[in-house]
Structure 1
Amino acid sequence: MNALRAPDVTARDAGPKAGLELGAYLDRIGWTGPRAATAETLRALHRAHLAALPFENLDAVVLGTAPSLALADVQEKLVSRRRGGYCYEHNTLFAAVLAAFGFRVTGLAARVRMGGGGTARPRTHMTLLVDVAGEAEPFLADVGFGAAAGLLEAIPLVAGREVAAGPRRNRLVREPHPGAPADLWVLQGLVGGEWRDQYAFTLEPFEAADYAVMNWHIATHPRSPFRRSLYLQRTTADGGHREIAGRTLTVTAPDGTTLERRELVEDAELLVLLRADFGIEPPEGTGLTGRG
Structure 2
Amino acid sequence: MTSDRDRLPDLDAYLARIGWTGERRPTAGVLRSVHRAHALGIPFENLDPVLGSAPSLALADLEAKLVRGGRGGYCYEHNTLLAAALTALGFRITLLCARVVVGAGPGDIRPRTHMLMLAEVPGEATPYLADVGFGSLGALLEPIPLVAGAELHDAPRRHRLVNTPHDGPLARWELQAYTADGAWESQYAFTLEPFEAPDYEVINWHIATNPRSPFSRRVYAQRTTPDTHISLTGRTLTVTTPDGTHEERELADGDEVLRVLAADFGIHLPPGTLLPEQEGEGEA
TM tier relative to shorter chain: over 0.9
CA-atom RMSD in angstroms: 1.4
Residue 250 of structure 2: aligned partner: 263
- The residue type paired with residue 227 of structure 1 is S
Runs of 4 or more consecutive aligned structure 1 residues displaced over 6 Å after TM superposition = none
Equivalent in 173, 177, 194 of residue 166 of structure 2: 177
Q: Secondary structure at the match of 1:212?
A: helix
Confirm or deny that 1:113 pairs with 2:101.
yes
Residue 67 of structure 1: aligned partner: 55
Residue 287 of structure 1: aligned partner: 274
Residue 88 of structure 2: aligned partner: 100
Residue 43 of structure 1: aligned partner: 32
Deviation at 1:284, TM superposition (A): 4.3
Confirm or deny that 1:86 pairs with 2:74.
yes
Instruction: Tell me if structure 2 keeps the 8 A contact 1:251–1:260.
Output: yes
Distance 1:187 1:29 in 2: 25
Confirm or deny that 1:77 pairs with 2:62.
no
The answer to which of 158-167 and 83-92 deviates more is 158-167
Instruction: Tell me if structure 1 keeps the 8 A contact 2:160–2:175.
Output: yes
Residue 4 of structure 1: aligned partner: 2
Identical columns (%)? 60
Deviation at 1:234, TM superposition (A): 0.7
Confirm or deny that 1:33 pairs with 2:33.
no
Distance 2:207 2:129 in 1: 23
* Correspondence 1:89-238 to 2 at 5 A: 89-118=77-106, 119-178=108-167, 180-191=168-179, 192-238=181-227
Instruction: Tell me if structure 1 keeps the 8 A contact 2:235–2:253.
Output: no
Instruction: Tell me if structure 2 keeps the 8 A contact 1:140–1:157.
Output: yes
Q: Secondary structure at the match of 1:151?
A: coil
Deviation at 1:109, TM superposition (A): 0.2
- The residue type paired with residue 290 of structure 1 is E
Unaligned runs of 5+ in 2: 280-284
Instruction: Tell me if structure 2 keeps the 8 A contact 1:48–1:237.
Output: no
- The residue type paired with residue 127 of structure 1 is L
Deviation at 1:74, TM superposition (A): 0.6
Instruction: Tell me if structure 2 keeps the 8 A contact 1:111–1:124.
Output: yes
Distance 2:276 2:54 in 1: 19
> Quick one: structure 1 residues 64 and 289, their matched pair in 2 at CA, closer, same or farther if it must change by over 3 Å?
closer
1:200-226 per-position Cα deviation (integer Å, ceiling 9, x unaligned): 000000000000000000000010000
1:161-189 per-position Cα deviation (integer Å, ceiling 9, x unaligned): 221011310000101111x1122100000
Distance 2:95 2:271 in 1: 32
1:26-54 per-position Cα deviation (integer Å, ceiling 9, x unaligned): 11111111111011111100110011100
Instruction: Tell me if structure 1 keeps the 8 A contact 2:240–2:247.
Output: yes
- The residue type paired with residue 5 of structure 2 is D
Q: Number of aligned residue pairs: give it.
A: 277
- The residue type paired with residue 110 of structure 1 is A
- The residue type paired with residue 169 of structure 2 is P
Distance 1:284 1:218 in 2: 26
Deviation at 1:70, TM superposition (A): 0.5
